[in-house]
Amino acid sequence: MAPPPARLTVDLAALARNYHTLGAVSGAPVHPVVKADSYGLGAAAVARRLMAEGARTFFVARAGEGAALRSALGPEPTVYVLDGCIADTAAELRAADLRPILNGAVQMSDWLDSGGGPCGLQIDTGMNRLGFRPEAAPAPFDGLALVLSHLACADDPSQPMNRIQRDAFAAIAMRYPGATRSFASSGGCFLGPDFGFDAVRPGICLYGGGPEGRPDPRIAPVATLTADVLQLRDVPAGESVGYSRGFTAPTPRRIATIAAGYADGVLRAYAGGGQGQVWIGGALRPLVGRVSMDVCAVDVTGLDVAVGDAAELFGPHRRLDDAASAAGTIAYELLTAVGGRAQRVYIS
């Protein structure tokens, strides 16, 4: 069978390079964040490769993600669940040997009342999202293996709140002498050696997003979204292209219809006069008109392009952060928007 016309290619060698870069720059062991199916790249394949590179501890968001990861990876790695111990998940967590990150007093008593065991603790040092406020942080207890906090502004090194949070975390972590201290997400890995503590928790930088929301020479592109040209047409001046006449050809244009649309993560904000561009025929060319569910249109006038050629929506020639900025969004949303229909292809 021919490969599907839209593919998300994941470069596992580039993933491995980013993993080692993040360890070197932060000076701390890397505990990869593989929540949301590794930001859409496929958690099982990503985590297996990261294990081969040395990772032994992973973070997911949901208990269900953790259970799936446990099935994929077997008993060896440690898996933390950032949601913590919510509702009736204690048994589910324990069944898959998952460790909740306890975010508050109710989660903590639910976990301990159900039998306790290895777990982590989140301290809120100012983000006001999840975790115990420092003044409400519990005394050390049996099973506590890790204490973490999360930066609100990790993508902005000039933000004074970074150091304020870092110092608050250092102070509170002294209460838990035996626990692994984890503070930095992707951006935090680059903020200086005193942000690394005992383990860092990067997500987006493993997957090719820059630490400051733009391409960064230290981070290799990992994910490439490509789609094939389904058809080419010559559109006379004055005719329109696509739904709602979103584009009218000012002069005769050659238009390629590409096999990727909303369902594959091509955002509506790209087209209709937006900044969306794809790499095709050796050049960056604009998306024109509206995006459709399954296809989009690119102006390839003057290029040597044939049916079946691949267009790159993001990847090494159209960097993930640039593609995201063009749609008024960020790499996280762009990656997780790639639907299940685009085949994941792993290269190493």
Ligand X SMILES: *Cc1c(COP(=O)(O)O)cnc(C)c1O
Query: What's the closest the beta carbon of residue 266 comes to ligand X, in angstroms?
Result: 22
Picking from 330, 327, 335, the residue whose alpha carbon sits closest to that of residue 274 is 327
Which window, 169-177, 195-203, 247-255, 304-312, contacts ligand X (CB under 6 A)? 195-203
Q: Pick from 120, 126, 202, 221: which binds ligand X (CB under 6 A)?
A: 202
Among residues 35, 39, 80, 332, the one annotated as catalytic is: 35
* Smaller CB separation from ligand X, 82 or 278: 82
125 touches ligand X by CB under 6 A: no
* Smaller CB separation from ligand X, 173 or 204: 204
Q: Pick from 49, 150, 285, 318: which binds ligand X (CB under 6 A)?
A: 150
173 touches ligand X by CB under 6 A: no
49 touches ligand X by CB under 6 A: no
32 touches ligand X by CB under 6 A: no
Tokens in use for 146? 């890790």
Query: What's the closest the beta carbon of residue 324 comes to ligand X, in angstroms?
Result: 13
203 touches ligand X by CB under 6 A: yes
For the chain, what is the HEC assignment? CCCCCEEEEEEHHHHHHHHHHHHHHHCCCECCECHHHHHCCCHHHHHHHHHHCCCCEEEECCHHHHHHHHHHHCCCCEEEECCCCCCCCHHHHHHCCCEEEECCHHHHHHHHHCCCCCEEEEECCCCCCCCECHHHCCCCCCCEEEEECCCCCCCCCCCCHHHHHHHHHHHHHCCCCCCEEECCCCHHHHCCHHHCCCEECCCCCCCCCCCCCCCCCCCCCCEEEEEEEEEEEEECCCCEECHHHCEECCCCEEEEEECCCHHHCCCHHHCCCCCCEEEECCEEEEEECCCCCCCEEEECCCCCCCCCCEEEEECCCCCHHHHHHHCCCCHHHHHHHCCCCCEEEEEC
39 noted as active-site residue: no
Closest residue to ligand X, based on beta-carbon distance: 203
243 noted as active-site residue: yes
151 touches ligand X by CB under 6 A: no
Picking from 329, 263, 319, 249, the residue whose alpha carbon sits closest to that of residue 296 is 263
* Smaller CB separation from ligand X, 203 or 265: 203
186 touches ligand X by CB under 6 A: yes
99 touches ligand X by CB under 6 A: no
21 touches ligand X by CB under 6 A: no
Which window, 72-80, 198-206, 236-244, 303-311, contacts ligand X (CB under 6 A)? 198-206
185 touches ligand X by CB under 6 A: yes
Q: Pick from 99, 201, 285, 290: which binds ligand X (CB under 6 A)?
A: 201
- Count of residues touching ligand X (by CB under 6 A): 10
Q: Active-site positions? A: 35, 243
Q: Which residues make up the interface to ligand X (CB under 6 A)?
A: 33, 35, 82, 150, 185-186, 201-204
